[in-house]
Structure formats: structure tokens, C-alpha cells
Structure 1
Amino acid sequence: MIHVLETRQRIPADLDTVWAFFATPRNLNEITPPDLHFSFVRGGEEPMYAGQVIEYRVTIFPCVAVRWLTQITHVEPGRRFIDEQRVGPYRLWIHEHRFEPVEGGVLMTDRVTYALPFGVVGRLVHRLVVRRRLEYIFAYRRRVIAKIFGGGEGQG
């Protein structure tokens, strides 16, 4: 079963500043909850480009660290980029990041299309754990991004 998680956040900064932050892969560490023990294995030193491969380790559950290999598949500078999991815990993971200039800043939209492996078991795990975990991660990001850019946490 395919799931979609979409969040929106107004960021009180100009598009160039917002894009520069999110187009720098190493900044992912700054907006990821500490309990995920996120660490880069390779890649991510250069500014983002289509085809870029980034590998990291992340703790998805207590004491369960996984290797996650992601590829930046599309980049439209100042507008959007897409990263797709190539190796990792999901059967499908496509994360589109969109940036739209609005009065007083930028409206950032994250849209994650994902699916878990393991059929019925995966659906149960999604219902019991995964959806809430993803919502927690994106809520954390919202708070940190608001602090970085000096704005509220409100949705679009």
C-alpha cells in the first residue's frame, strides 16, 4: 500500500536564502531529530545536483540502525528537488521538496510518497508506528526550521 505524507511551512526568508539552505545536503543533519543518530557515510559535501548519491545511517527504531542510500533525481533550482531512496528501510520512498515565493517569504511543501515492505505486516507496522514516527520527524523539522529562519511553525 502506498502512503503520502504532505506538510507545508511558511518560512520568513527570501527564496535564495531558503533554497541555499535546503540545497546543501549536510544541513539535513541539523533538521533531523537527535534520537535518529543521523550520520553521513558518503556524499553530501557538494551542493545538490541531479544524480547525486548520498549515503547515511539512521536509527529508525531504538537499537535498529539502517543504511540509507538516497539519490537526488530532479533539481529545479529555486523551485523543487526530489530525492528517492535506492537502499533503505522502505519499499518506496520519494520525497519532493517544493519552494514557492509568497508574501513575506517562502511556502515550503514536503510531499513524501512511501510504501513499506512485508505486505500485511508492513501495513500493521505503518498503522502502529511508522506514520506517527514520520509525523514526529516532520514536526521536529518544522520547529527547527522556524528557529533557523526566525519564524512561526504555522502551516501554509
Structure 2
Amino acid sequence: MKIYTLKAKQNLPISTEEAWDFLVNPKNLKIITPDYMGFEILSGDERIMYSGQIIQYIVTPIAGIKNKWVTEITHIKDKEYFVDEQRFGPYTLWHHTHFIKEIPNGIEMEDVIHYKIPFGIIGQCIHPLIIRPKLKEIFEYRKKKLIELFGSIDTETTHQIIFT
């Protein structure tokens, strides 16, 4: 059983409060998701995120195949992190922790995602060909959108995506 990890970091020239307010509003997920993915929230975006919240949405990541995805917000520490876990969807496991911390001139956002792909060895074979590149593309898009919205901090570690 192979569990993959994706880590992404991005520095933004905004306050912790501004970052937190943006991240905990489920409606903002659509803003930072590529348009071609047809992201549509079905329910759960009526309030800012809270522990136990269920969010249901449709996403079309590959070849026009629609997927219903249901996540639960399982943990929140105000202005520090929150965790969303897939309850139903395309992955066998999806555990995504969103961290923010204050740094000089802004904040560092860090995402740590642990995920498992279905279909055993077949899933492991398609991971480097389809899934990893697609996830990288999604996080690159998000980076660009966040820079459009908030600007950028010019440092060597402004943005990193690491898969293990």
C-alpha cells in the first residue's frame, strides 16, 4: 500500500488574518481551482469552516469525468491550520492539512497532503503519468491565482511543490 505525500509552500505579503479569512471561506475554493475542472460546490459553503463541516462538490479533473467529492473539516486551530479529509471521492485516502504562519513581510502557507490512489498497482503506475502532474498543475494554478489576488514576496522559497 503506497501512500504519497505532496507538500507545497507559498509566501504571500498579507496578514495572518487576511490569509485565514480567505482560506476558511469554502466559496474561495472555486477561485483557486482551474476553470477546466468544473469545480462546483453542492453544499456546505453556507458558513466559514468549522470542525465537523461537510462540504460536497463536483470536480472534473481528467477527461471530462465528473467526480462527486465529499470532504469533512476535521480539525481547526484558529489562524494556524485546518484539516480536510475526503469522505467520498476519487482517492482511497486524502488528508490535507493547510498551515499558515507569520513570516517577515507576510505569511507562509503550507499544504501537506497524504493521499492513496485506488486500483492497486495500476494506480501506482498511472500516478507519475497522470495524477502527480495533474496535482502539480493544480497547485501551480493556485500559486498564480493567489499572487494575482495578494501579490508576492520575492524570496527563494516563495513557492515549492515537493512529492514523496
The TM-score, its normalising length taken from structure 2, stands at 0.92
Distance apart, 1:152 and its partner CA: 4.8
Show the 5 A alignment for 1:6-25. 6-25=7-26
Q: Deviations over 1:72-128 (max 9, x none)?
A: 000001000000000000000001000010000000001111000110011011121
Q: How many residues align?
A: 156
Match of 1:42, as an amino acid?
S
Secondary structure (helix, strand or coil) at the match of 2:114 reads strand
Q: Deviations over 1:10-32 (max 9, x none)?
A: 01001001100001011000000
- The separation in 2 between residues aligned to 1:76 and 1:83, in whole angstroms, is 13
Distance apart, 1:44 and its partner CA: 1.3
Query: Where in structure 1 do 4 or more consecutive aligned residues deviate above 4 Å?
Result: none
Give the corresponding residue for 1:90. Answer: 91
Q: Deviations over 1:53-89 (max 9, x none)?
A: 0000000212201000000000001000000000000
Distance apart, 1:155 and its partner CA: 2.2
User: Identity across aligned pairs (percent)?
Assistant: 37
Match of 2:135, as an amino acid?
L
Secondary structure (helix, strand or coil) at the match of 1:78 reads coil
- The separation in 2 between residues aligned to 1:135 and 1:152, in whole angstroms, is 21
Secondary structure (helix, strand or coil) at the match of 1:84 reads strand
Match of 1:132, as an amino acid?
P
Give the corresponding residue for 1:141. Answer: 142
- The separation in 2 between residues aligned to 1:32 and 1:139, in whole angstroms, is 10
Q: Does 1:155 align with 2:146?
A: no
CA RMSD, 1 decimal: 1.1
Give the corresponding residue for 2:5. Answer: 4
Structure 1: give runs of 5+ residues left out of the alignment.
none
Secondary structure (helix, strand or coil) at the match of 1:31 reads coil
Is contact 2:143–2:159 with CA below 8 Å preserved after alignment? no
- The separation in 2 between residues aligned to 1:138 and 1:151, in whole angstroms, is 15
